[in-house]
Amino acid sequence: MSTAHSLPITVGDDWLAMQSAGTLSPFKQLLLTCQADMAPHLRPLFASDDHVAGALLESAKPAALSDDFMSRLDARLIADEQAKAPTSEAAHAASIPDWMPAPLADYMRRNGRRLRWRNAGVGVQQARLGRNRHGERLYLLRAKPGLPVPRHSHSGQEWTLVLSGGYKSGAQQYVAGDLHQEDESCTHDLRIDDDGPCISLIVDEGKLRFANPLLRLFQPVVGI
């Protein structure tokens, strides 16, 4: 876990409130869930706003239920009881890479996805995991040790959760468990740590915008 700082880097208070209210996109919710899985000591921070929401729920204005709501619920519980069957996920668990947080593994299992790395430039591989109708992309990036990523900005927001290894962005060090947010207002370059490959889970709203025209030329080919 993090060595450069005592607590992993996460999103700000406004984003935490959105996470609690359920108003983040599902991909970003998944990213935060993965971070909480990797960094249990962040969970109380995430829990704070849920306590507020729970307290508000207790005395919130109710909506009218259908007349048969409770009888349908009763029938549902009886049916669930009769259909109860033991399940085993041991075989799936055995195939999960050790760097993959459990919520992501579960997402991939339910989505029927396999990890398929494809080259996305020199020293970089990408595994696409999904795209939603809001224009967001979810994918993994694996970069070789010591790799410099040229100066670039972003089209829209980009959230990066470091799953293993680390990198430096400007003066800021990011290690496994840290969540790095960028948007179109930020231009930066990165350098992957020398001591091993870096694997990150990324949600973005658009592709990178490289400062170098030559890199922009090749960008459609590499796909990032």
Partner 1 sequence: MQSVTSVQSGAICGSKSKTPAKVSALPGRSALDGELMSRVVTSADRDAFNALAMHYAPRLKAWLMHRGEGDSTSEDIVQDVLAAVWQKAASFDGAKASFSTWVYRMTRNRWIDHKRKHDRLQPTAPSDMIHLVDEPDDSLHAGLEEAEAAQAVRDALATLPPEQKQMLYLAFFEGLSHSAIAERTGIAIGTVKSRIRAPLKKLRTTLEAYRKDVP
Which lies closer to partner 1 via its Cβ, residue 69 or residue 218? 69
Assigned token pair, 95: 């195939």
Min separation Cβ 11 and partner 1, Å: 13
Which lies closer to partner 1 via its Cβ, residue 14 or residue 98? 14
Q: Using CB under 8 A, list all residues that contact partner 1.
A: 13-14, 17, 20-23, 26, 29-30, 32-33, 36-37, 40-41, 43-44, 46-66, 69-70, 72-73, 76-77, 80, 102-103, 106-107, 110-112, 130, 132-134
Which lies closer to partner 1 via its Cβ, residue 17 or residue 222? 17
Min separation Cβ 82 and partner 1, Å: 13
Query: Torsion angle of alpha carbons 9, 11, 12, 15, nearest 10°?
Result: -170
Assigned token pair, 113: 């996805």
| Distances from the Cα of 92 to the Cα of 54, 63, 102, 105, 109, angstroms | 34, 41, 11, 9, 8
Min separation Cβ 94 and partner 1, Å: 18
Min separation Cβ 204 and partner 1, Å: 16
Which lies closer to partner 1 via its Cβ, residue 33 or residue 126? 33
Min separation Cβ 191 and partner 1, Å: 31
Dihedral sign, Cα of residue 168, residue 173, residue 177, residue 182: negative
Which lies closer to partner 1 via its Cβ, residue 89 or residue 194? 89
Residues with Cβ within 8 Å of 204's Cβ and at least 6 positions away in sequence, in order, are: 136, 137, 154, 155, 156, 157, 158, 159
Min separation Cβ 215 and partner 1, Å: 30
d(CA 137, CA 27): 8
d(CA 220, CA 224): 8
Which lies closer to partner 1 via its Cβ, residue 138 or residue 190? 138
